[in-house]
Structure 1
Amino acid sequence: MRLLPTRSCSPGMKLAKCIYNEDGLVLLNERVELTQALINRLQQFGVDFVYIQDRDTDDIEVEDAISQETKMKALAEIKTQFRKAMEENSKSKFSKNAFMGRAFGNVIKMIMQDLDSREGTHIMLLNMNVLNNYVFNHSLNVCIYATMLGMANGYNREEIAVLGMGALLHDIGKTQINQDIIKKPGKLSPQEFAEVKMHAELGYRLLKDEPNMPLLAAHCAFQHHERENGSGYPRGIKGNEIHDYAKLIAIIDSYDAMTTHRPYRLAMLPHQAMEILFSGVETLYDYKKVALFRDNVAIYPLGLSVKLSTGEKGVVVVINPAIPQRPTIRIMEGADGEKITQPYEVDLSKQLTVFVSEVEMP
């Protein structure tokens, strides 16, 4: 299968992976033949990339980070609990709910079990859900990233579970903010931005006394917008004053936000977002944690179309475990622009003078 920007698709192409709606239900099935009307609809819904069946790359198999069953259950629980918090906020009350901690604890267990079966793989999440509710899907994505990175960093099961819980609920404070502001498609006014910034403290208040909720999860919500140099919020703490879990969630939160399509801007590709993270090392983000993230994220996802510094064009077919930022590329087009009848592969982890110069963008 091949990963193509939706705008590059043409009628007659067939989907290689299902496309789901915000509830995790199938919207378009695998092997559905695209029409121009379907392509237009996908673009309208903010679907930047789709996996397409392709004869030259039919050996590429892309495994999802978690099963569709786990994703549907997780999203359903996130929606239930977040919407409950929204409704109670509108009534100016919030009752403590022992079920929240247990429910999300079960979600974390399911995610950990799925990721255990995929140990050794690299994180490769592209946000391609139609009718995507950003807060819900973002919360789940950040949890998946954080859980996998906790495993890669050698945390024990209890530590990973707490980190995953903090990641899953880092944005729950947004349920206490005017939803018209949260969903605003354009730039926020200074007053609106000041209100949105309150979500970190509001999230902490919601979680700190919640039964069956680790207090550290509440601190993840409180601190995930703090930065290394003290330029963050809500307290402007810095360096060692910020918990390691919150530092990691800050990186993941920023990355997932940058790589997600929003009404006011297109999603960045992973390598672009990674460059921005590294530009903020030691001022905004902790270097060791950005490096951990880099070493476990597929910067160039499987099936992605790229151009090399040699002028050749091809598709990512292997993510090299030791150096994921230097994948193996199957060359499909020569530097002269001619299609190659017998594609060949270039391993960038061995050909160190060759690098990816361009990526096919949405």
Structure 2
Amino acid sequence: MRLVSVSRLQPGMRLGKKIYSDEGMILLSDGVELTDSLIKRLGRIDIGYVYVQDSLTEDVVIEGMLQDETRNQALKVIKTQFQDMSGASGITKGFYHLDKKFSGVMDSILDEMSAQETPMIMLLEMHTADNYLYVHSLNVCLYTLVMAIAHGYSKAELRVIGLGALLHDIGKTQIPVKIVQKPGKLTDEEFRQMQAHTEIGYRILKDEPNIPLLSAHCALQHHERIDGSGYPRGLKGAEIHEYAKWIGVADSYDAMTSSRVYKKAMLPHQAVEALYVGSGTLYEQRQLELFRDRVAIYPLGLTVKLSTGQSGVVVKIDSTTPHRPVVRILTGPEGEPVAPFEMDLAVMLSVVIVDVAN
């Protein structure tokens, strides 16, 4: 299958992967034939890219980072708990049900990811942006755990950082929805209220039974930056806990690669480039390097153009060289169709990807 921008979809194409709501419910099943009305609907619900079936790449199977059952259960718990908290009268109320619900989800996620030989950050399932908070919370948890596993943390440490990542934005449940979901630029006062979600999240989590205090500090510090430009306290360098720094990278990456009402999603390679602009100032260089080595910057199914002038589709990614995928060449230098063949960029070092279809 291929990854195609919604703006390039044509009637008659068939979906290659399901499209989900923010609650994990299936909106469109794989195999559905796209019509003009369905394509327009995808545009209205802020889906930037979809996978479509394609006879030339029908053997390309796109696997998620989690099993559907685990992912949907996690989203259900996040939504239920966050919605319950949104209706709370104040942030001092105890939410003692968090430990059982979220700890169970965390254990399931850790079991699945730890069983993978080399977990990688892949382009995840397509979701609507009706309530970005639920999907974002799960994505940041998964991305953070990929880095944390590669870094070599113990299982106990992974659980702490995983819970911190899963709950990093819990403070937003106490911010007015009209601000959290505002489609345009926030006013200065609205931005001040939004920034408060870090301290609110800390206050919610710090007294939770079985939620580690360090996980609460992740919620507090995930917007701090090593040059002191972050918030809420303007901490610098070693003043910021290492866990919060990992989560900050994952949080920024997911924000860049997610479609919102007011912006188009970046493709992974674009987001990684944007992160590297802040190397040594916003983010630790060593953390960005590990992140880069664990992210599939050119996702399976993506159409790319090579420095040779040839174009093709990414069909295989080696975890040891994710930035040098195997490309199935489909057109020649002049755009002419050619008999498909595969080029391994990890071997053909003189050839580079110069552009992607978007």
Report the TM-score, using the length of structure 1 for normalisation: 0.96
- CA-to-partner distance for each residue in 1:301-322, whole Å, 9 max, x for gaps? 0000111122111100111222
Give the corresponding residue for 1:258.
256
Counterparts in 2 of 1:211 and 1:338: CA distance versus 1, 3 Å: same
Give the corresponding residue for 2:330.
332
RMSD of aligned C-alpha atoms? Answer: 1.2
**What amino acid is the match of 1:17?**
K
Tell me which of 229, 232, 256 is aligned to 2:230. Answer: 232
Cα separation, 1, equivalents of 2:149 and 2:324:
23
**TM-superposed deviation, 1:119:** 2.7
**TM-superposed deviation, 1:4:** 1.0
Cα separation, 2, equivalents of 1:165 and 1:41:
35
Say whether residues 1:138 and 2:167 are aligned partners.
no
Cα separation, 1, equivalents of 2:90 and 2:342:
61
**TM-superposed deviation, 1:148:** 2.0
Matches within 5 A, 1:61-80: 61-80=61-80
Q: Deviation above 6 Å: which 4+ runs of structure 1? A: none
Cα separation, 1, equivalents of 2:22 and 2:198:
25
Give the corresponding residue for 2:220.
222
Counterparts in 2 of 1:100 and 1:27: CA distance versus 1, 3 Å: same
- CA-to-partner distance for each residue in 1:139-178, whole Å, 9 max, x for gaps? 0000111122221211111111111000001011111111
Matches within 5 A, 1:159-198: 159-198=157-196
**What amino acid is the match of 1:190?**
D
Give the corresponding residue for 1:18.
18
| SS at structure 2 position matched to 1:346 | strand
**What amino acid is the match of 2:72?**
M
Check whether the contact 1:97–1:211 (CA below 8 A) recurs between aligned residues: no
| SS at structure 2 position matched to 1:220 | helix
Cα separation, 2, equivalents of 1:189 and 1:360:
35
Give the corresponding residue for 2:355.
358
Check whether the contact 1:167–1:220 (CA below 8 A) recurs between aligned residues: yes
| SS at structure 1 position matched to 2:87 | helix
Check whether the contact 1:96–1:211 (CA below 8 A) recurs between aligned residues: no
Give the corresponding residue for 2:102.
104
Give the corresponding residue for 2:45.
45
Tell me which of 195, 198, 201 is aligned to 2:199. Answer: 201
Cα separation, 1, equivalents of 2:168 and 2:90:
21
Check whether the contact 1:98–1:211 (CA below 8 A) recurs between aligned residues: yes
Tell me which of 340, 345, 359 is aligned to 2:342. Answer: 345
Cα separation, 2, equivalents of 1:24 and 1:117:
23
**What amino acid is the match of 2:35?**
T
Cα separation, 2, equivalents of 1:40 and 1:291:
39
| SS at structure 2 position matched to 1:98 | coil
**TM-superposed deviation, 1:131:** 4.7
- CA-to-partner distance for each residue in 1:25-51, whole Å, 9 max, x for gaps? 221111111111111111111111111
Check whether the contact 1:98–1:212 (CA below 8 A) recurs between aligned residues: no
Give the corresponding residue for 1:313.
311
**TM-superposed deviation, 1:335:** 0.9
Give the corresponding residue for 2:56.
56
Matches within 5 A, 1:77-96: 77-88=77-88, 91-92=89-90, 94-96=92-94
What runs of 5+ residues in structure 1 fail to find an aligned partner?
none
| SS at structure 2 position matched to 1:344 | strand
Give the corresponding residue for 1:150.
148
Q: Kindly, what percent of the aligned residue pairs are identical?
A: 50
Cα separation, 2, equivalents of 1:344 and 1:6:
27
What runs of 5+ residues in structure 2 fail to find an aligned partner?
none
**What amino acid is the match of 1:15?**
L
- CA-to-partner distance for each residue in 1:195-253, whole Å, 9 max, x for gaps? 11111111111111111110001000000000011111100111111111000000000
Cα separation, 2, equivalents of 1:292 and 1:299:
13
Check whether the contact 1:174–1:182 (CA below 8 A) recurs between aligned residues: yes
Counterparts in 2 of 1:306 and 1:132: CA distance versus 1, 3 Å: farther
**TM-superposed deviation, 1:130:** 2.5
